[in-house]
């Protein structure tokens, strides 16, 4: 195991979520105490649903928390396939309903002409984000940094000036907007949340070499990353 990675294996998703919610909520509370605000960037997919639901119940000064997305499908937030819909349905509820959500989609704009506008909005709101939570696909993608995408090299370039980049995955539906690797790595606390043995296998493969998968670039270049894993 690399020295920058902290890996914890939990017996079940519920035990994982209990511990993950505690760590994330403690960081948010600490940041609010220190600077009267906190920022949280989250990922979509099915894995974080229970985590979102339980985090939403924690008593935090949510009105001082800004929540954004690591990536987004270029869809209206009313579309059930959008990550915004997922976050609004499962996280911006209960105690967390007063958090400020900042979408990564701009209505009436074309995805591939919106890199600069999305970058300016998100860099202003989420530069050196307090907490960033990543997921991972069975193909080794994270955020919307998919293998074989035409703009992947640009998205992974640590010298890029872009905070966000438009992506057209060859292996997944919808045009997307994603944080670049550089902006991901600039976050203060980076987490990777994965479940099931198939993901564990991909995770172990990702540790073999830096260019194995897009998630490998995060694992090899993050100053510190915590991995939360459960087999179910």
CB 139 within 8 A of CB 157: no
Where helices occur in the chain by DSSP H, the ranges are 13-35, 49-55, 83-90, 115-126, 152-156, 181-185, 197-206, 214-221
Per the structure, the complete domain to which residue 218 belongs is given by 5-230
Lookup: tokens for 153: 């090299």
Q: Mean pLDDT in the chain?
A: 97
Look at the chain and count its residues. Answer: 232
- Dump pLDDT digits (tens) for 16-27: 999 999 999 999
Average pLDDT per run of 10 along the chain, which is 232 residues long? Answer: 92 97 98 98 96 98 98 97 98 98 97 98 98 98 96 97 96 95 98 97 98 98 98 90
Give φ, ψ of 110 to 5 degrees.
-85, 140
CA dist 85 and 89 (Å) reads 6
Q: What is the chain's alpha carbon radius of gyration, rounded to the nearest angstrom?
A: 16
User: pLDDT at position 2, please?
Assistant: 86
Lookup: tokens for 133: 């939570």
CA dist 173 and 162 (Å) reads 23
CA dist 68 and 122 (Å) reads 8
Among 45, 104, 95, 97, which residue's Cα sits nearest to residue 72? Answer: 104
- Dump pLDDT digits (tens) for 41-97: 999 999 999 999 999 999 999 999 999 999 999 999 999 999 999 999 999 999 999
User: pLDDT at position 1, please?
Assistant: 63
Which residues make Cβ contacts (< 8 Å) with residue 197, sequence separation at least 6? Answer: 231
What residues are paired with 226 via a beta bridge? 6, 191
176-179 and 71-73: which strand pairing? antiparallel
CATH number at residue 218: 3.40.50.1360
Torsion of CA 76, 80, 82, 83, to 10 degrees: 130
- Which residue is it, tokens 């400020």? 100
Quote the number of domains for the chain: 1
């Amino acid at each position: 195991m690399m020295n920058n990675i902290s890996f914890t294996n939990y017996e079940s998703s519920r035990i994982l979520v209990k511990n993950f919610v505690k760590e994330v909520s403690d960081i948010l509370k600490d940041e609010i105490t220190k600077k009267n605000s906190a920022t949280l960037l989250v990922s979509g997919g099915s894995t974080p649903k229970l985590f979102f639901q339980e985090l939403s119940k924690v008593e935090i000064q949510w009105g001082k928390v800004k929540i954004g997305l690591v990536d987004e499908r270029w869809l209206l937030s009313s579309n059930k396939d959008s990550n915004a819909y997922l976050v609004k349905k499962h996280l911006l509820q209960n105690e967390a309903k007063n958090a400020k959500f900042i979408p990564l989609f701009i209505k009436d704009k074309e995805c591939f002409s919106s890199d600069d506008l999305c970058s300016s909005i998100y860099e202003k709101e989420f530069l050196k984000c307090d907490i960033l939570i990543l997921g991972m696909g069975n193909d080794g993608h994270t955020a919307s940094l998919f293998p074989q995408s035409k703009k992947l090299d640009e998205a992974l370039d640590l010298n890029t000036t872009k905070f966000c980049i438009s992506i057209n995955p060859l292996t997944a539906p919808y045009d997307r907007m994603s944080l670049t690797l550089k902006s991901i790595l600039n976050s203060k606390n980076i987490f990777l949340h994965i479940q099931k043995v198939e993901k564990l296998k991909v995770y172990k493969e990702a540790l073999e070499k830096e260019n194995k998968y897009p998630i490998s670039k995060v694992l090899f270049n993050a100053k510190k990353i915590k991995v939360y894993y459960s087999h179910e």
